[in-house]
Structure 1
Amino acid sequence: MAYSLRPFHPSDADNLIELRRLAIEQIGISAYSKDQVEAWASKVGNAQGLLARFENGDLITVACDTADRAIGYSLLGPGGHLDHLYCHPEHTGQGLADKLLAQSELIARQNGARQLHTEASVLARPAFLRAGYIETERRDFEIEFGGRKVPIHNFAMVKQIG
Structure 2
Amino acid sequence: MTLKGPPMQIREFRPSDAAALAQIFHAAVHGIGARDYRPEQLRAWSPEPAPAAAWARRAADGRRVFVAADTQNQPQAFIELELDGHIDCFYCHPQVAGTGTGSALYERLEAEARSLGLKSLFVEASEAARRFFLRQGFTVETRREIERRGVALHNYRMTKELAV
| TM-score, length of structure 2 as denominator length | 0.91
- The Cα offsets for residues 112-159 of structure 1, whole Å up to 9 and x where unpaired, read as 211110001001111111111111111112112xxxx21110110001
Instruction: Give the aligned partner of residue 39 of structure 1.
Output: 44
How far does residue 45 in structure 1 lie from its aligned partner after superposition? 3.6
Distance 2:89 2:49 in 1: 11
- The Cα offsets for residues 71-122 of structure 1, whole Å up to 9 and x where unpaired, read as 0000111301000110011111111111111111111111121111000100
Distance 2:147 2:20 in 1: 28
Work out whether residues 102 and 131 of structure 1, in 8 Å CA contact, stay in contact via their aligned partners in 2.
Answer: no
Instruction: Give the aligned partner of residue 156 of structure 2.
Output: 155
Instruction: Give the aligned partner of residue 114 of structure 2.
Output: 109
Question: Match for 1:57 among 35, 45, 62?
Answer: 62
Distance 2:54 2:118 in 1: 24
Distance 1:92 1:55 in 2: 26
Instruction: Give the aligned partner of residue 147 of structure 2.
Output: 142
One-letter identity of the residue aligned with 1:89: P
2:25 counterpart SS class: helix
How far does residue 65 in structure 1 lie from its aligned partner after superposition? 1.4
RMSD: 1.4
Runs of 4+ in structure 1 off by over 6 angstroms are none
How far does residue 43 in structure 1 lie from its aligned partner after superposition? 8.1
One-letter identity of the residue aligned with 2:156: F
Question: Match for 2:130 among 103, 113, 125?
Answer: 125
Tell me, which stretches of 5 or more residues in structure 2 are unaligned? 1-5
Number of matched pairs: 158
- Greater helix percent: which structure? 1
